[in-house]
Amino acid sequence: MSPSPFGDYFFNEWCIPYFIAFFVNFFIAWLLFFKARKEEHVQLYILTEFFVALLCFSVALATCSLDSDTWLFWMVINRVTSLLAVTTLFHFSYVFLYRINIFEDLRVFLVHLVPLFYISVFLIDIDILYSSVLESGGSPFGLFEADIERFSPPFLWGFFDIFLVVMLVFAAVNFFRMFRSEDVEIRWRSAYFILASLIPLIFTCMEDFLEAIFPDFNLKLDLGTVSLSITGVIISIGILKHRLFDIDLILPKSFYYITTVVVLVWVFILSGELLVRFITGGEVSILSRFAAVLFTLFLFFPVREVVGGLTTRLFPRDFISRRRKSGLSSGVALEIYRKQLQLAWEGGEISEKERRLLNDLRLSLGISGKEHERLERELISALEIYKKQLQLALEGGEITEKEKILLKNLRLSLGISDKEHERLEKEIIGMNVQ
Residue 368 to residue 376: CA distance in whole angstroms: 12
In the predicted model, is pLDDT for residue 301 greater than 60?
yes
Identity of the highest mean pLDDT range in 14-18, 153-157, 203-207, 429-433: 14-18
In the predicted model, is pLDDT for residue 107 greater than 80?
yes
Encode pLDDT of 175-204 as tens digits. 888 877 766 667 777 778 888 888 887 787
Runs of H (alpha helix) within 135-285: 154-179, 184-213, 223-226, 228-240, 247-278
DSSP state of 374: H
The sign of the torsion formed by the CA atoms of 113, 114, 118, 119 equals: negative
Residues 6+ apart with CB under 8 A from 319: 179, 180, 187, 248
**Least trusted range by pLDDT, from 124-133, 234-243, 245-254:** 245-254
Q: How many residues does the chain have?
A: 434
Could you give the maximum distance between any two Cα atoms of the chain, in Å?
104
Q: Which of 370, 367, 379, 369 is nearest to 337 (CA)?
A: 367
Residue 19 to residue 57: CA distance in whole angstroms: 6
At residue 164, what is the residue type? Answer: L
Residue 192 to residue 238: CA distance in whole angstroms: 5
The DSSP bridge partners found for residue 134 are 145
pTM for this prediction: 0.62
CB 424 within 8 A of CB 390: yes
CA 123 from chain center: how many Å? 32
- How many Cα atoms are found within 13 Å in the side-chain-facing hemisphere of 66? 7
Encode pLDDT of 137-174 as tens digits. 778 888 888 765 555 555 566 677 788 888 888 988 88
